[in-house]
Copies of this chain bind each other. A is one copy, B any other.
Amino acid sequence: MHPLFEDIRHTPLLWLVVLVPFVFLAQALKPEAHTLLFLLSVAAIVPLAALLSRATESVAAKTGDLIGGLLNATLGNLTELLITLAALRAGQYVLVKASIAGAIVTNTLFMLGASFLLGGLKYHIQGYNRDSARLQGGMLFLATIAILIPSVLAASDNAPSAAFTHSLSVGLSVLLIVTYGLGLMFSLKTHRELFTGEDHHASDEKEWPMSLALATLAIVTVLVALVSEVFVESVQQAAVALGITPAFVGIVIVALVGGAAEMVSAFSAARKNKLDLSVGIALGSAVQIALFVAPVLVLASYVIGPAPMDLQFWRGAVAMMLIAGVTASLVTSTGRSAWFVGALTITVYIIFAMTLYLLPPAGLAGS
């Protein structure tokens, strides 16, 4: 297990992994200390997420381009999937949906914008593969439309029945997963030559041996799932205690926690003038949440949830996803970037975060 410890030694972020046992200890000893459990579980998920993505990438690197690409495409957001599955099992659908919307918005605005800004502070002008950004922008646009439809119909005067919304959501989820599969076929197989330079892992990291990678993947998945349960149980009361709105928790905090590991990779790539990698991680992750994680959760709700979940979002969340998608399309349309592009993109994110932070909880009652 030498490479694992070496990685941990070189990555201060991973030192937080020592908090994992304390999460379970605290839950056993002080099950009512919601705020403590919330903070501990948030802090423990960050290093676990980093280990998960490290392990996924190592397995992907050993299995060749096609299967590796598929692995990254399905397990790349395993942390988000595990957190939202825990919320789904608990029937906390508002939190599930806020986490989905938050992951999409945070990846397309904060991760992309901060990559542009951090890269732009070091390099005057940076270039990247426009075709790849365009493909992911197109898929994100499609997902936003799919999510828009049930929400718009629900807001009309003659709101359709729950039965209609549920069958529509299942149909849309299947369409999204099929489109995601076709997109993988397009970018990994039939037109892969258009998407070179978007290799998902930085080349200067030493890959782990297969056995270590698989063992880490298995063990850490279980740990993330367990910590996520603690997180989901404590989040609601902790938010009240800390005076934060549930929308802010779901859309901002969960997304930043779940995506912390990927952000580290994206930002470090931007500082090395590898913007292809940064843009690929940011948009690719948003696309994966929208076209894979979200529909999988809708379909999974029929199996493991207390009731079926639909694709109908709070209309503020729909507006944010729509604006995030348009912003990403606009800023990536030239294939060039400078620091101000990053500043503009982050400012859109700050506008959203500030609104959610100030918004009184009653404003979300219609979610």
User: Which residues of A from 277 to 324 have beta carbons under 8 Å from B?
Assistant: 315-316, 319, 323
Known contacts: A145-B351, A355-B168. The answer to whether A340 contacts B175 by CB under 8 A is: no
User: Which residues of A from 338 to 367 have beta carbons under 8 Å from B?
Assistant: 338-341, 343-344, 347-348, 350-352, 354-355, 358-360, 362-366
Q: Is A172 an interface residue (CB 8 A)?
A: yes
Known contacts: A134-B334, A360-B160. The answer to whether A179 contacts B343 by CB under 8 A is: yes
Interface residues on A, range: 35 or more
A360 partner residues in chain B, CB cutoff 8 A? 160-161, 164
Of B145, B191, B340, which contacts A182 at CB under 8 A? B340
Q: Is A36 an interface residue (CB 8 A)?
A: no
The complex places the Cα of A152 from the Cα of B343 at a distance, in Å, of 24
A354 partner residues in chain B, CB cutoff 8 A? 168, 171-172, 175
Please determine whether B172 and A138 come into contact, CB atoms closer than 8 angstroms: no
Of B138, B142, B168, which contacts A358 at CB under 8 A? B168
User: Which residues of A from 140 to 184 have beta carbons under 8 Å from B?
Assistant: 141-142, 145-146, 148-149, 152-153, 156-158, 160-161, 164, 167-168, 171-172, 175, 178-179, 182-183
Of B142, B146, B191, B355, which contacts A338 at CB under 8 A? B191
The chain B residue with its CB closest to the CB of A144 is B323
Please determine whether A141 and B330 come into contact, CB atoms closer than 8 angstroms: yes
The chain B residue with its CB closest to the CB of A139 is B344
The chain B residue with its CB closest to the CB of A153 is B363
A175 partner residues in chain B, CB cutoff 8 A? 347, 350-351, 354
Of B135, B191, B323, B343, which contacts A145 at CB under 8 A? B323
Known contacts: A316-B153, A330-B141, A366-B158. The answer to whether A164 contacts B359 by CB under 8 A is: yes
A135 partner residues in chain B, CB cutoff 8 A? 340
Q: Is A327 an interface residue (CB 8 A)?
A: yes
Please determine whether A340 and B161 come into contact, CB atoms closer than 8 angstroms: no
A344 partner residues in chain B, CB cutoff 8 A? 138-139, 142, 179
**A–B Cβ pairs within 8 angstroms, 28 of them:** A134-B334, A135-B340, A138-B330, A138-B341, A141-B326, A141-B330, A142-B351, A145-B323, A148-B323, A149-B351, A152-B315, A153-B355, A156-B316, A158-B362, A158-B363, A160-B363, A161-B360, A164-B358, A164-B360, A168-B355, A168-B358, A171-B358, A175-B347, A175-B350, A179-B343, A182-B340, A190-B338, A333-B333
A interface with B by C-beta (< 8 Å): 124-125, 134-135, 137-139, 141-142, 145-146, 148-149, 152-153, 156-158, 160-161, 164, 167-168, 171-172, 175, 178-179, 182-183, 186, 190-191, 315-316, 319, 323, 326-327, 329-331, 333-334, 338-341, 343-344, 347-348, 350-352, 354-355, 358-360, 362-366
